[in-house]
Structure 1
Amino acid sequence: MEEAASAVRLLELAANPINGQFDYDHMKAIHRHLFQDVYAWAGQERVAPVDQWMLKEGHRYYQAGQVLTDAAEREYAKLAAKNLLRGLDLTAFVEALAESWGELNVIHSFREGNTRTQFVFFSQLAEQAGYRIDATQFAPGAPLRDEFVQARFHSQDYGRNDQLAQVLRKAVVPSG
């Protein structure tokens, strides 16, 4: 049910993006829209685990609570300080995009649906900066999907976003 409902909501957001400041509230609004039909907690920061890192498939994510909130707010502030990645050439844009995406992924703000929410958020961010992320490259069975997943895990495990930048470089193009 979640997959079907969120797929409909993804199409809605592609046609009518949520306006926002590309901050934490904006990310939460996207999550709320995507998962409103499935989860009562859609758009809300996860509340567990507290006092320890969250482990998922052997990869560490931030613990819930103030640590997570503060980390998220810092990352969105960095994005704002970089003028939402506007005015960058393609190489600089992809590197900055990978940095923000990698860092926000390890924060993992929501219980479920982080990847879909991040994809919408960063696709909208790319558009306002003059670029487009070719979503077809990341669809199930598409060539970059597995590379993208592995690159994000690499970012988490090693604190480096260079592999994520390499993958995104294959799918980000100037818009228009």
Structure 2
Amino acid sequence: MDKYGVGQDPYCYPGTDILINKLNIKNDTSLELAERDLTEIAAESIDFSAPPYDFSLLKSLHQRLFEDIYTWAGEPRTIDISKGDTRFCVANRIVPEAQKLFRQLEVKHWLMDLPKEDLIIEIAEFCGDLNVVHPFREGNGRTLRLLCDFIVINAGFEVDWSPVDSNLWMQASIDAVICDYRKMNQVFELCIGDSLPNE
């Protein structure tokens, strides 16, 4: 079984849990390192985007982050996946569920003009719920955090993910499945900084 518990995954090389990639890397550790390096380089070339924030933007961000690694970059996954005891949204519900979350975000005016405490609560729930949708076969966290950068900056605050421990992010993501956003609140309490100066 691969790490997402789907048996022989069509996204993986036969008999392995290693994702088929443009670099033809067949070692899990090497692929993780290549992913990290290439997505960091790609992220540096992505400029801030103002609203509207929608599923098309999320797909575009994923494509730009991962297009040098995977042929399916920017495309919603076509198989159902789980990780440990966490089951993500079934594949045929990804698009409608993601679009519903983005519509809610639009109704809330992209979380603009909120005090920091309210912004933390709102973005924690949005981020937790969108992570449960888990639209892509791989790279959901990196793509989601980049989108959250845009939302937080647009709402008028600094953002820095370096204080966020990977274990906290993982537990926050797991807890969000049962709509427990306390850990995700902690994530954003750590990464949302001071108000940005008015220009």
Q: Does 1:159 align with 2:179?
A: yes
Q: Which residue of structure 1 aligns with residue 39 of structure 2?
A: 6
For structure 1, the 5+ residue unaligned runs are 139-143
Q: Hey, which of these two has a bigger chunk of helix by percent?
A: 1
Residue by residue over 1:96-151, the C-alpha shift from the partner in whole angstroms, topping out at 9 and shown as x without a partner, is: 0001000000000000000000010000111011012212223xxxxx33212211
Give the number of equivalent residue pairs. Answer: 163
Residue by residue over 1:67-123, the C-alpha shift from the partner in whole angstroms, topping out at 9 and shown as x without a partner, is: 121111100000011000001000100000001000000000000000000010000
Q: Does 1:57 align with 2:84?
A: yes
Q: Does 1:97 align with 2:130?
A: no
Residue 171 of structure 1 deviates from its aligned partner by 1.9
> Where in structure 2 are the equivalents of 1:104-115 lying within 5 Å?
104-115=130-141
Of residues 149, 152, 160 in structure 1, which corresponds to 2:170? 149
Q: Which has the higher contact order (CA 8 A, sep 6+)?
A: 1
Residue 57 of structure 1 deviates from its aligned partner by 2.1
Supply the distance in 2 between the matched residues of 1:22 and 1:35 (Cα, whole angstroms): 20
TM-score of the superposed pair, with normalisation by structure 2: 0.77
Supply the distance in 2 between the matched residues of 1:148 and 1:118 (Cα, whole angstroms): 12
State the SS of the aligned residue for 2:45: helix
Residue by residue over 1:20-60, the C-alpha shift from the partner in whole angstroms, topping out at 9 and shown as x without a partner, is: 521000101100100010111111111112xxxx3112211
CA contact (8 A) 2:50 2:154 kept: no
CA contact (8 A) 1:134 1:171 kept: yes
Larger Rg computed on CA atoms: 2
Percent of aligned pairs sharing the same letter: 25
Shift in alpha-carbon separation, 1:73–1:84, aligned structure 2, 3 A: same
Supply the distance in 2 between the matched residues of 1:148 and 1:129 (Cα, whole angstroms): 22
Q: Does 1:23 align with 2:54?
A: yes
The one-letter code sitting in structure 1 at the alignment partner of 2:191 is: A
TM-score of the superposed pair, with normalisation by structure 1: 0.87
Runs of 4+ in 1 over 6 A off after TM superposition: none
